[in-house]
Amino acid sequence: MTREAVLLMAYGSPDNLDQVEAYYTDIRRGSPPQPQLLEELKGRYRAIGGGSPLSRIVEEQRAALGAELAARGTPIPVCAAMRHIAPRIGDVVQTMAADGMERIVAIPLAPQKSSNAAGYRRAVDAGLAGLSTPPELVFVESWHDAPRLIEALATTTREALDRFADPSRVTVMFSAHSMPARVVAEGDPYPDELLATATLVALRLGLDDYTFSFQSAGRTGEPWLGPDILDEIRRLAADGVTELVVRPVGFLADHLEVLYDIDIEAQAVAREVGIRLERARSLNTDPVFIAGLADVALAALGGTAAV
């Protein structure tokens, strides 16, 4: 019988301030950041408690997925790895191979396919390179429309709407990490898949009034996808909006882009322009989300995922 395992992959984020410089250098492909940029990033991590909870949450997601798969009669190993911090994807793939895994289902914890997400595939391929007998790889390219992902996003959005006296009067803003605007000309599916995810959630909720924004754009000197979330909040205020729910659809766990960019930075702008902003909680280990992740894994194990 073929020995199978699932590999969950996340971007990675520093657990503490001591890791920030090495992490920042890594995401800059080995180029150390300028001192002022490094201090600015450290300041953001200080503001959310001195480090990101992402590694801990991904480990909890890994354990929850393993338990869900076992409960469904598929008790196979589930591993977790990061692109820009330990445990590294390539290292974990090699360990899985050394442990005798013959087939690996690799799932990025980024549901929408993009050129940036392709970095996960490159990291896996690098880990497999040079192995005398590499495991068979089933790589899940996209799961942006997985039914229980949509259900979990919709349910948590409804929870946030229900914090208001009249949810029908509240505007919903979906958000996701921006990318350089040139990806559109290059045919990257990322913007379309993000909008597809948001539209499915909106349809499930029966929303008549919603908007979409990008956040957390990099400082590369080139245009990035917009509208930016801060500009969009100001535009909504100018249009008379006073109540707003922000529902990230590209982030599946609490980390800097949620805890700082939305909960601190966007909240500050919302208060400034007179908008009450409530963020839908991150999916983290939400049972419906974990069940949806198991659906994706089992479909891939059954040979129905993109390879």
Q: Are residues 184 and 224 in the same domain?
A: yes
pLDDT averaged over the chain? 95
Per-residue pLDDT tens digits for 58-74: 999 999 999 999 999 99
Domain that holds residue 241: 147-279
What is the dihedral angle through the alpha carbons of 124, 126, 129, 130, rounded to the nearest 10 degrees?
Answer: -130
In CATH, what number is assigned to the domain containing residue 31? Answer: 3.40.50.1400
The pair phi, psi for residue 104, each rounded to 5°, is: -120, 130
Q: Are residues 186 and 241 in the same domain?
A: yes
Q: Are residues 294 and 198 both part of a single domain?
A: no
pLDDT computed for residue 307 by the predictor: 31
Is there a single domain that holds both residue 263 and residue 235? yes
Instruction: Note the pTM of the prediction, 2 decimals.
Output: 0.96
Residue 163: inside a domain, yes or no? yes
**Are residue 127 and residue 9 in the same domain, yes or no?**
yes
Report the pLDDT value the prediction gives residue 306, as an integer from 0 to 100.
37
* 171/225 same-domain check: yes
Mean pLDDT over 17-46 rounds to 96
Same domain for 161 and 274, yes or no, is yes
pLDDT at 109 over 60: yes
Does pLDDT of 117 surpass 90? no
Segments of the chain assigned E as strands: 4-10, 78-82, 103-108, 136-139, 171-177, 210-215, 243-248, 276-279
Looking at the fold, whether 120 and 9 belong to one and the same domain comes out as: yes
Report DSSP letters for 39-52, one per residue.
HHHHHHHHHTTSS-
Pair (9, 129) in one structural domain: yes
Say how many domains are in the chain. 2
pLDDT tens-digit profile of 177-208?
Answer: 999 999 888 999 999 999 999 999 999 999 98
Q: What is the pLDDT of residue 305?
A: 42
Same domain, 172 and 260: yes
pLDDT for the residue 204: 98
Q: Tell me the two tokens of residue 119.
A: 């970095």
Is-contact 175 197, C-beta < 8 A?
A: no
Residue 306 domain-assigned (yes or no): no
How many angstroms separate the CA atoms of 146 and 298, rounded?
12
134 and 192 both lie in a single domain? no
- Residue 307 belongs to a domain: no
Instruction: Give the CA dihedral 164, 170, 176, 181, nearest 10 degrees.
Output: -160
Residue 34's Cβ-side half-sphere holds a number of Cα atoms within 13 Å equal to: 5
What is the per-residue pLDDT for 303? 59
For the chain, the distance separating the N- and C-terminal CA atoms, rounded to the nearest angstrom, is 21
Confidence (pLDDT) at 218: 86
The answer on 78 and 54 residing in a single domain is: yes
What does the pLDDT look like over 233-259, one tens digit per residue?
Answer: 999 999 999 999 999 999 999 999 999
Is the pLDDT assigned to residue 131 strictly greater than 50?
A: yes
- Cis geometry, peptide bond prior to residue 111 (ω within 30 degrees of 0): no
